[in-house]
Amino acid sequence: MISKKRMFEIFERFSKSKVLVVGDLMVDHFICGHVSRISPEAPVPVVEVTSESYHLGGSSNVINNIFSMGGKVHVAGVVGEDLAGKWLMDEISKVVCDTNGIVTDTERPTTKKTRVVAHSQQVVRYDKENRDEINNEVENYIVDYIRTKLREIGAIVISDYNKGVVTKSLIYKIKQLLFETNSKVIVCVDPKKKEFEIYQNFDVVTPNHNELEQAVGREIRKEEDMILAGNLLMNRYGFKALLITRGEKGMTLFEQDKKPVTIPTVAQEVYDVTGAGDTAIGVFSLAMASGATFPEAAVLANHAAGIVVGKIGTATATKDEMERFFYKLKRG
């Protein structure tokens, strides 16, 4: 579906391409250790902590993946006025063109997911967050920021984690902005809302299996069910493409007036699927901004996701890793 020569042509354009990511900025916090006893206070394991780390999570991980692949990134989102927000702003500033699209909201905490891991198994996760929707003033600030970047960027990623930033109202305002400006910027959506009509006429939507089931309101057990569901969404909502991420089954790409194409997974070892979807949409959008076709972008996204699931925790893929991975697969 993509040759070495074509892959390198697209890679060469990465450094000249810009993507704007709108969504829920988060901190991924990992506490790692080992368990050798059960607590006498309650029937729970006692984790003896050996390490602790912080990573860019949620939409921040999408940003980090685009940066790791050599692309340029703008960001629009919200953080709280707290230590996690300060850490997030400091880290994001290292990988984006500017942080002017980030609003500091004194009324909400920065979203932080804390995972306690022992012997490579997650023991518990606890989240600090406020999932209330952002107000009209913050929405307008984000839209105004997007307006200032439209002439620079090749793609927009709407990265929804259902934490209150990607409201239906914000989506409609982004649609209106693109209509008013007659913008040809490619819009890729990582959806969390089951009402897919709000994404109508966006270029690409990338649901996983569960999100696809919610969108069509039925259980999907067989390949035929998935094909029917994908075609239904394409016909009903006018997407240019639908990319269904399917875990160990890879990805299936739907395009207008074409047969669906399934891209098998290339992951050789799976240690942790945390953030694989962020990697996929980040690389997909960067490839589209760099002139790739939908199938080419899907193949590159699939390769990148295959790399990050072989790493522990929230991770990214780089161009060098992609090249080595590509050569290894071709030799095999």
Surface-to-core class of residue 18, CB atoms within 10 Å of its CB (0-12 exposed, 13-18 middle, 19+ buried): middle
Q: What is the pLDDT of residue 267?
A: 59
Q: What is the pLDDT of residue 313?
A: 63
Q: What is the pLDDT of residue 332?
A: 47
pTM listed for this prediction: 0.92
Q: What is the pLDDT of residue 322?
A: 82
Active site residues: 278
Q: What is the pLDDT of residue 91?
A: 97
Q: Which two tokens stand for residue 252?
A: 């299936």
Q: What is the pLDDT of residue 148?
A: 97
Structural domain boundaries enclosing 304: 4-331
CATH of the domain at 96: 3.40.1190.20
Q: How many domains does the chain have?
A: 1
**pLDDT 10s per residue in the chain (332 long)?**
678 788 889 999 999 999 999 999 999 999 999 999 999 999 999 999 999 999 999 999 999 999 999 999 999 999 999 999 999 999 999 999 999 999 999 999 999 999 999 998 889 999 999 999 999 999 999 999 999 999 999 999 999 999 999 999 999 999 999 999 999 999 999 999 888 999 998 999 999 999 999 999 999 999 999 999 999 999 999 999 999 988 778 899 999 999 999 998 775 565 555 567 888 999 999 999 999 999 999 999 998 888 876 666 667 788 888 877 666 655 54
- Report the first-to-last Cα separation within the chain, whole angstroms: 17
Q: Is the dihedral of CA 201, 78, 284, 254 positive or negative?
A: negative
